[in-house]
Each structure stands twice: as structure tokens, then as C-alpha cells.
Amino acid sequence: MSGTEIFGLITGMLGGLALFMFGMNVMSDTLTQLAGGKLSGLIDKITANRFAGWAFGTILSVFVQSSVTTVMVVGLVNSGIMTVAQSASVTIGANLGTTATAWLLSLNSLGGSFWLQLLKPSSFTPFLAIGGVVFLMFAKGDKQRSIGTIVVGFSVMMIGMDMMSDSVAPLQNVPAFNQMMLRATNPFIGVLVGIACTLMIQSSAAAIGILQALAMSVGVTYGMAIPIVCGAQLGTCLTAILASLSGGNKGKRAALFHLSYNLIRNTIFLIAFSILSGMFNFAFLSQKSGAVGIAAFHTLINLVGSAVFLPLTRPLVKLVHVILPFNAAEKEEEADTLTILNPLFLQNPAFAIDQVRTASFMLADVVQEYYDAYLDMIDKNLDEKSEEMKHLDTKADHYVSQIRKYCIRLSEHRMHDADARNLAFLSSVVNNCAETADKIGFMEESFTGLKKKGDSFSEEARKDLSTFGSAVQEILEATVHDYATQNTRLAGTVQVYREIITDLLGRINRRNVRRLHNGECSPDGSRAFSEICTGYERIIDRCDSIARHILLNAGEKAPEPTQEQYERIKALFNDKFSELE
């Protein structure tokens, strides 16, 4: 071959590969983003049954790359949403589902009648591409634009496949290349070629696509194709392994299962196949496989693997736990870290936002527990905050820090407008929870600081603080509950609660002034009392803000309570705290 021909071959191959990989990633990422927010609610139910989990992994990988599925599985296991046992069946299914890509690419090898030619992607891809571009240009909604992106991604992928096939066609007349391909009939060399190719482009589907392009242009025998396909399936395990390195041991176990399954399955097959081939000298190994033959073998080995290993997932999971056992440090890390905020999910904003929402629920619960512990300190008149309060204070700060950092990283990714609004809503709720925790800490310092000075509240003052604190507790509990359930009913009555709290604050301030005037408390005690009451009022403000954000996110206006509802709420509330009269 001349220098010009070699240069044309290289540029055509690289250009085709670039388009193929770009189209595949665009299509896969968009499909994942469309489904991402709905997956978390389905995963736990689906993976409870191993056969349902296998079917889920198979179907998901038909539409997105298996590497995307396995990386998602690693993230879900690392976050505690799935166990390694639940992920096992999904991983086995993902290996089977990805074979659909090879069948799709094999359509380009169709020949014969005009109608068969129409089934070739190269025949209808230009029309799909035009349709996708029109969708992108004129669609108004995010969902329509996503559909256009998927169609364009598919079209670009198929165009890249054609470019690769056309560019390598001249190689069929190059003796040196044919000699090199013959070496791949050695199973060991073929496996290494498949692994190396997959490692370079980080996709087994793309590696097998290149092999199919060669099969359509220069001819690839079954003896060459079989070990290369096996090697490609081993090489794809690196993606999950690399993804697991950023997380804890749970994610590493999921990646280790993926590696174990592919290693054991392909090793057993290659050893058995080599022995049988040596005994019976299979004639078909020297025949050209074609793109369809490669797709058929790729599917066959995964179908057999599913049938053999799906019932054996428990022993394989036990093997993984023997290789990478649990330890005390792992349990401590799990207690202090919001593992659901996994960096792997950032590539799928809709799913990541769902995890932020769950994390915000956990934060709200911790803040409520912190407040309950604070009230217990007031009731017991403790000199300093309890170990429980210290733990909850630290935990709340830790959660806030993790969620805020995750939201910042998430905001750097491209997302739909609806997802951006949800992220802003969740960020505001987290900020309100953080401010509530800060106010609790401020009130605790005012209470214990007074005692450190050798001073203390009178019995009546402590009783007033406890009663007022209980009123705030009721509103805080209702707010946390309504936020977790996204219930908009509270939001319409928050203003009523605020008016009642303002009324209560006026009563206890008058009682505080009277105690100071009568010499029943010191100036320091009166100031600390006022600081704590102000803290209570600020917490109600935060509850009001969360309630309004719930309404804003739901697209509703705050329903104004009727006078009858107002009087009934006020009467019920005041009856509970009538001792402040």
C-alpha cells in the first residue's frame, strides 16, 4: 500500500471510530438521562427477584451501553441502594443486553433484494438523521429534544460504522495484514487483542463493532472472531473497576463480581472450546464469520452464561465477599458518609437529583432529632450538651457539607430545565435545614453558657422555654413530615402558625420582663432567655420558607385559610399552650 492509501485508511478508520463512539455515547447518555429519575423507585422492587433483575439488566443494556449499566450498578451498590447480591443478576443481564448492538450493526451486511436493502441502517440512516435534526431545531420541550438527540446519536453511530467498514476494505489485499489476523486464531493472542482494543476505546460494543467492520470488509474467520469477542468482554470489566475506585468497598465488590463472572465464564468456555477443537478439528473455524456470525456468537456465549451462572449468583457473591471481606473501618465510614451521593451518578443528573432529594430527607430527620435532643437538655436542665447532641450536631454539619458540595458539582453538568428547578428547590431546603441546625446550636450555647457563668434560669423561665419549644417542635415535625411527603396542606396554614408563635413570643417576653423587674432572674439570664426565644422564632421562619418552597416546586399558590379555619387552628394551638397566659 502507498503512503497516501495508508494515510487515508488511518484517517477513515479514526474518523469512523470517533463518529461511532460519539453517536453511541450521545444516544446512551440521553436515554439514561430520560430514565434516570424513575430508575431509583423501580430498582429495589425489580432486583428483589434475581430473574426480574436479570431481565431489567438485559432490557436496560439493549438501550444503553453495558458499561453504563455496570457503572450505574457499581454506584447503586456503593450507595447502599442495592446489595451486591441484587446487583449480580443485573450485571449478568447487562452482558446479554449489550449484544443487541452487534445485531443492529450486522444489518449493514444485508444484501439481496431491494426490500432487504431497505433494512440496512445505511439506507434509512440519512432520513433518520434529517428527522432528528428537525426535532432538535423545532422541538419546544425537553423530552422532544431528547428524542431528537437520540435519533441523531443513532444516525451518527451508523455513519461511523460505515466509514470504518469502507476505510479498512483495502486491507483485504494486503498480505501482511492477513498474516497478522491469522495470529489471532491463537486463543491467547486473540483474547489479548480483544482486551487491548476494549481498553483503548473503553467499550466492548465498539470493539466488537470494529471487528464486525473488518468482517464485512476484509473477512474475519470464526477462529479469529471467537477469542477476540471473549477478550472484549473481559476488557469491558475495567470500566466498572475504574468506576469503583472512587467509592467504598461495596462498589468494589460489585465491580469484582462483574470481573469474576466474565473471567470465569470466558475462561471455562475458551478452555473447553480449545480442547474440543483440538479433538474434533472444527471445520467452521476457518470459515468467514461475517457481521451476523459475530453477533450470533456474542449472543450465544452470553445466553449460555446467563443460563449457567444466574442460578449460581449466591456462590459467586460469597466468593466476592471472601476476596474482599467487610471490616470495621467500612462500617464507620458508612455511618458518617452519605453514600447515596455517589460521584458516578453525576453523569445522570435526573438520577443524581433523586439521590439529593433522599439525602435532604435524611438531613431533615437529623435536624429534627437534634432539636428533640435540645429540648431534652432544657427539660433535664443539663449543664452541657449530651453526647447525642454532639453527635447529631456533627452529623447535620457533615450532611450539609456533603449535599452542598454534591449540588455544586451537579450544577456543572448539563440538565433539563425541570431538573435545574428541582436542584434549586432542594438546595434551598438544605440551606433552611442548615440554618435551623445553626439556630439550635446557638440556643444550646446560650443555655449552657449561662450555666457556665454560675447562673441559671428560674423554674418558671425553664418551663416557659420548654412550653414554647414544644410549640415550635410541633411545627417543625409537621414541616419535616410534609416535606418528606411533598404535602402542600401545611403551607397554607404556616402563616397562621407564625401569627400564633408571634403571640406566644409576646406573652413570654412580658413574663421575662416581669421576672427581671421583680428580681427573679439576672440580666444575663434575661438576655439568654431572649436569645433562645429569638432562635425559636427563626426556626419558625425556616419552616415557613420550606413550606413556601414546597408550594413553589409544586406550582401552587399558598391557599389562604378561611376565618373559620384560622380560628379553629388558633384555638387548638392555644389550648395546648394555655399555661403561657
Is residue 223 packed enough to be buried (19+ CB in 10 Å), middle (13-18) or exposed (0-12)?
buried
Arithmetic mean of pLDDT, 365-384: 86
Alpha carbon distances (Å) from 463 to 381, 507, 512, 517 = 10, 13, 12, 19
Least reliable range by pLDDT among 85-94, 229-238, 437-446, 508-517: 508-517
| pLDDT digits 0-9 by tens, 519-577 | 888 888 888 888 888 888 888 888 888 887 777 776 666 566 666 666 666 665 555 55
Architecture of domain 348-580: Up-down Bundle (1.20)
- Residue 277 pLDDT level (bands cut at 50, 70, 90): confident
Q: Are 116 and 330 in contact (CB under 8 A)?
A: no
What per-residue confidence (pLDDT) applies to 369?
Answer: 92
Arithmetic mean of pLDDT, 270-284: 87
Question: Would you list the domain boundaries of the chain?
Answer: 3-329, 348-580
- Residue 111 pLDDT level (bands cut at 50, 70, 90): low
- Say if residue 80's pLDDT is above 80: no
Angstrom distance (rounded) from CA 551 to CA 558: 7
Torsion of CA 166, 299, 237, 60, to 10 degrees: 100
Least reliable range by pLDDT among 122-126, 181-185, 341-345: 181-185
Beta strands in 403-505 (DSSP E): none
DSSP string of 46-111? HTTSHHHHHHHHHHHHHHS-HHHHHHHHHHHHHTTSS-HHHHHHHHHHHHHHTHHHHHHHHGGG--
30: nearest Cα among 122, 142, 128: 142
Rounded to the nearest integer, the mean pLDDT of the chain is 79
What per-residue confidence (pLDDT) applies to 39?
Answer: 57
CB within 8 A of 10, min separation 6: which ones?
Answer: none
The Cβ of residue 410 has, within 10 Å, a number of other Cβ atoms equal to: 23
Map residue 444 onto helix, strand or coil: helix
| pLDDT digits 0-9 by tens, 446-500 | 888 887 888 878 888 888 888 788 878 888 888 888 888 777 666 556 666 777 7
What per-residue confidence (pLDDT) applies to 437?
Answer: 92
